[in-house]
């Protein structure tokens, strides 16, 4: 009887060792659209004439959710709803505007970052600089989801090519040292605490749910498949070239 009990205990321990769930955290973010104060009068008039369209777009914007999954050393950020699974054009446009329909992967051990995006029916893998942002941490504080957060600012460069020059966007993030990981939503990271809110341009992403004990048997993995691209500049060149080809075909 004693030997049988010892054997059963061994099996339980073995199952716990090899079948245990990964120690994950899952943060859900929701988007907010903040209209810039410097909107032109012509654009304001156009939006007034198309009030229902604008209303539908903003409603779709608010319903879109993103998830950040992370362990101690890896993270994956993506939209919860697959863009191809919805027929709502407002939602599709909003998803693209917020995240450019990208899956973002980070590995702190290998110092690796990449995004995978779909464009014209193809998937592309684009490596990113590991230390992407030069943050300036301020003394300003606020409370988000009951957690003390500190304000940090930086700039994000928008890619440009040819006659289309890039520009810098001001980025404002609120991070909490109470969760001491360097991850954040939509590629914004590198702070001494999890980013719970970030705004850039007219877009703001806010953590709506924080689950620091998320149970799953899956592993965070670098997105597979796709065409490997050297950097964002090459990806921008591919996109502009395709747009020009489409315009030529129409004319």
**What is the Cα 203 distance to its own chain's centre?**
12
Residue 5 confidence (pLDDT)? 35
Q: What is the pLDDT of residue 120?
A: 77
pLDDT of residue 247: 66
- pLDDT tens for each residue of 161-186: 444 456 788 999 999 999 999 999 99
What is the largest distance, in Å, between two alpha-carbon atoms of the chain?
Answer: 85
- The number of beta carbons lying within 10 Å of the beta carbon of residue 186 is 23
| pLDDT in the model for residue 40 | 46
Query: Under 8 Å CB-to-CB from 5, ≥6 apart: which residues?
Result: none
Per-residue pLDDT 10s for the chain (251 aa) are 444 334 333 333 334 433 444 589 999 999 887 765 554 455 456 556 566 666 666 666 667 789 999 999 999 999 876 544 455 555 555 555 555 568 999 999 999 999 998 887 788 999 998 887 999 999 999 999 999 999 999 998 766 544 445 678 899 999 999 999 999 999 999 999 999 999 988 889 999 999 999 998 888 999 988 899 998 888 888 877 877 776 666 65
Strand partners, 142: 149
Short-list 173, 220, 226, 223, CA closest to 68: 220
Determine the Cα–Cα distance for residues 223 and 208; give it in Å rounded to an integer: 25
- How far is 20 from 14, CA to CA, in rounded Å? 10
Q: Which tokens in the block code for residue 97? A: 């505007």
Spatial CB neighbours of 236, under 8 Å, sequence gap ≥ 6: 159, 160, 161
Q: Are the beta carbons of 176 and 149 closer than 8 angstroms?
A: yes
Model pLDDT, residue 99: 53
What pLDDT is attached to residue 65? 86
């Amino acid at each position: 009887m004693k030997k049988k009990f010892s054997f059963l205990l061994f099996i339980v321990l073995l199952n716990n060792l090899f079948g245990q769930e990964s120690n994950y955290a899952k943060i859900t973010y929701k988007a907010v659209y903040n209209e810039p104060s410097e909107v032109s009068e012509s654009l304001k008039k156009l939006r007034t004439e198309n009030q229902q369209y604008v209303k539908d777009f903003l409603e779709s914007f608010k319903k879109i959710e993103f998830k950040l999954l992370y362990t101690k050393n890896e993270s994956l950020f993506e939209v919860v709803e697959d863009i191809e699974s919805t027929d709502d054009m407002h939602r599709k446009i909003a998803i693209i505007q917020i995240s450019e329909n990208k899956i973002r992967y980070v590995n702190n051990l290998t110092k690796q970052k990449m995004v995978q995006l779909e464009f014209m029916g193809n998937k592309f893998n684009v490596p990113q600089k590991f230390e992407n942002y030069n943050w300036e941490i301020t003394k300003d504080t606020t409370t988000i989801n009951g957690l003390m957060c500190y304000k940090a600012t930086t700039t994000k460069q928008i890619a440009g090519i040819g006659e289309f020059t890039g520009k810098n966007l001001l980025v404002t993030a609120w991070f909490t040292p109470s969760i001491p990981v360097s991850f954040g939503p939509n590629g914004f990271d590198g702070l001494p605490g999890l980013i719970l809110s970030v705004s850039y341009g007219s877009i703001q992403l806010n953590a709506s749910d924080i689950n620091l004990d998320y149970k799953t048997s899956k592993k965070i993995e670098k997105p597979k498949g796709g065409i490997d691209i050297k950097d964002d500049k090459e990806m921008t060149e591919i996109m502009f070239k395709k747009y020009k080809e489409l315009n030529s075909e129409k004319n």
